[in-house]
Each structure stands twice: as C-alpha cells, then as structure tokens.
Structure 1
Amino acid sequence: MNRKFLLACAGVVLMAGPALAEEPIVGTWKRPTGTLIQYVSCGADKYCGTVLTGEYKGKSIGEMSGKGGSYKGQVNKLDEGKTYNGKASVSGNTLSLSGCVLGGLICKSESLTRQ
C-alpha cells in the first residue's frame, strides 16, 4: 500500500513539473552596460523588472505580460526618464527588449544576456 501511495505521489509531481516551470523571462539579465536586471513573477502571466546594480539600483524598469518567451508591456528607460511601450522575447540565453514612444517615432532596442 505504501508503494502505491509513493508511486501516485511521484506521478503527481512529474505531471505538475511543466506547470510549475518558470517562464523564460524570470531570472537575472546583464545589459550591455554591465548593469544587472532581475525579472520576477508579480502576478498571473506578469513579470516585474528591477535594477540590481549601478546608479538605479532598486528601481523598477517596468512590467511585462505574456508567456512562452514572448511578452509585452512597458519598459522604463531610467536615464532618459521615459517609458516605452515595448516587447520582449527570450531565445536561449538572450533577452531582446524593444520599445517605442511618441506613437513609434522614437524606438530603442537592447539585448541582455542571462546570468
């Protein structure tokens, strides 16, 4: 009886594994400038970014929503004081961020590396 119970528990854990897996955006990322950014889950399909190092340590860089490696939301460019409507995608160990302000007149992009 104990063996059946253990096998049943193991089955439940194995089936739950993929559902419990973190989204690709979750983690620590390094900007080309060397600054570290951390994205954490902050709601259902919502991810909040915070600066971990440098001049803006502890500041929010915005929120992204989505899943499966494709996200959209807002990115704060702290050194410019602007908030961009943007997109993010994760491919391997690269997080690509892009965003625009003024209806697409000014756009920026950046690639970060997973740490």
Structure 2
Amino acid sequence: MKRMFIAITALAGGAAIAHAEDPIVGNWKTELGDTAAITSCGAGYCITLKSGKHVGKQIGTFRGKDGSYEGKITDPDANKTYDGTLTVSGKALKLKGCVLKVVCESQTWPRL
C-alpha cells in the first residue's frame, strides 16, 4: 500500500511539472504595461491581472497546448468577453479577440 501511494504521488507530481512547463504559463506585459499572470486552472489556463487598475481581475480562460490555445478573453475596461486565441512564439504571446469571428483585434505581449 505504501509503494502504491509513493507511485501515485510521483505520477501526480510529474503531471503537474509537465503541465507547468507549457509555454503559456508565466507573467506577461500587456500593451498597457500591466502584468498579466497565466496559470494552470482546471483543465486549462487562466489569465489574471497582477498590476494596474484592474489588479486581481481574471480576464481570460483558455485551453490548448504546445503554444496554441482557444478560449475567452475579457476587456476589463468595457467588461465585455470575446472568443479568442493565443499563440506563443519564443518570448511573445499573441492574443486575438473576435466578435462573431468577423471583427478581430490583436495584441502582442512580451514575457516578463
């Protein structure tokens, strides 16, 4: 029984480490100069502002892996949520939010 617990603990720890190594996880600088933290949450990732006038507000939820993600992104000033995509390339995160997949806006955030 003790060996089984150790094996399960080791497997669970390994899964957490692999998930944490995904390229999206970390701190990013928004176009307004705020810090946005992307962390794993549930089966995906959450974006939470860590500085600026909306500090503490969750502004996105995404699912995906290996640098390509889909989900929802919220404009904290307008308090409107849009369908969005995120792609990670090196130390840059490109966000794209769309209304009805027709009218889209993009931003690029550097990694901090």
Q: TM-score, normalised by structure 2?
A: 0.80
Quote how far apart the aligned CAs of 1:31 are: 1.1
Matched, 1:107 2:101: no
- 1:65 equivalent among 63, 76, 85: 63
Partner residue in 1 for 2:21: 22
| Corresponding letter in the other structure for 1:108 | E
Q: Percent identity?
A: 44
Partner Cα distance (1:68, 1:51) in 2: 23
Runs of at least 4 residues off by over 2 Å: none
Q: TM-score, normalised by structure 1?
A: 0.78
Unpaired runs of at least 5, structure 2: 1-9
Q: Provide, for residues 3-28 of structure 1, a one-character-per-residue CA deviation record: whole Å limited to 9, x for no partner.
A: xxxxxxxxx9xxx69x7251110000
Cα RMSD (Å): 1.8
What is the aligned length?
98
Partner residue in 2 for 1:84: 82
Partner Cα distance (1:105, 1:82) in 2: 16
- Whose Rg is larger? 1
Partner residue in 1 for 2:31: 32
Q: Per the alignment, in what secondary structure is the counterpart of residue 57 of structure 1?
A: coil
| Corresponding letter in the other structure for 1:26 | V
Q: Provide, for residues 66-112 of structure 1, a one-character-per-residue CA deviation record: whole Å limited to 9, x for no partner.
A: 000000000001112211101000000000000111x1343111000
Partner Cα distance (1:37, 1:53) in 2: 7
Quote how far apart the aligned CAs of 1:47 are: 0.3
